[in-house]
Structure formats: structure tokens, C-alpha cells
Structure 1
Amino acid sequence: MSIDNANQISHRDIAYEVIDEYSTNVTFEVSRIPGQAVSCDVTVLNQSFAIVGFLTVDVAPSTNRSTVISSTVLTTELGVSGLVDGCR
């Protein structure tokens, strides 16, 4: 979990699923001020902790403080973990 106190944005990794050698699904929760649009950077790593996939996910404004997002990240090789690097 990470928190940006200036903008009151936090994120929490929920799950990841390696679909195949070229894609991984990452599910995470974003909390922010209702009505605030947010962008989150999602990364997939291989067994050597090298980045093999990256995606910036735009989270639309909502009346809810928290939103659960599930995104598929395309990868250059088999990933072994998926996580959110940060939101802004």
C-alpha cells in the first residue's frame, strides 16, 4: 500500500494472474477524493525482478472514494508478479 498525502491518493495490490507468456492481469484498489481522476502505473516483473510489462491505467472520477480496477498488462516474456508502482 502506498499513500500520496498531498493528493490523498492510496493504492493497494489485491491480486495478479499470469494469463500466459505475453499477458498478466493485475487487480488493485485505488482510494482518492471522490470526483478525482487518477493515473496508476502497473508493472509486471519476471523472476529476476526485471520489468517485462508496464501500463499506465487511467481511473475515471467517481462518487466513490475507493475503486477496484482489473487491467491486463502485455508482457515481453513470462511474468511472475504484478503490482502498482504508484498513482498520481
Structure 2
Amino acid sequence: SKAQAEQALNATLHAIQSSLAKGNSVSLVGFGTFAVSKRAARKGKNPRTGATIKIPARKVARFKPGKALAEVVNTGKVPKAKK
């Protein structure tokens, strides 16, 4: 049902978020890998004033698509869903 699908998706997203929060990566075979990456501190410009500002180091979530997903995106051919 729609409610069960929503519950399953929410549980999956929560598990991915929990793993990333701990610094772990999550691989979904045939789909891709979610990982945490560190961005170094850097200098930037305030677009409104043009003033130079310091942008602090931080962690960001990254996603690398798997082979199967990349192929679907590049060819536009979506395989039939398995029942």
C-alpha cells in the first residue's frame, strides 16, 4: 500500500542519514553510494558587497551513481520493474 511504501522509504532514508552522521558510507547495489566528504576552509566573496569572507571547513554529503543508474541516465532506457 502507499502507507507501507512511505514507511519503508522513510526507514531507508533514516538509516542512510544515521550512517552518514556517523561518517560511514552507504552503498545501494545497482543504485549508488552515499558518502561524507570534507570541504576545506576557503576564501569567498560576498556577492552583495564584494567583500572577501572566510568560508569554514565543513562536511558535505556526496552521491556517486552506480553503473546501472548511470547507464539508465545516459541511455534514457529504464528497465522494467521486477515484481
TM-score range, shorter chain: 0.3 to 0.5
Greater CA radius of gyration, 1 or 2?
A: 2
Higher RCO structure, 1 or 2 (CA under 8 Å, sep 6+): 1
More strand by share: 1
More helix by share: 2
Q: What's the TM-score once normalised by structure 1's chain length?
A: 0.34
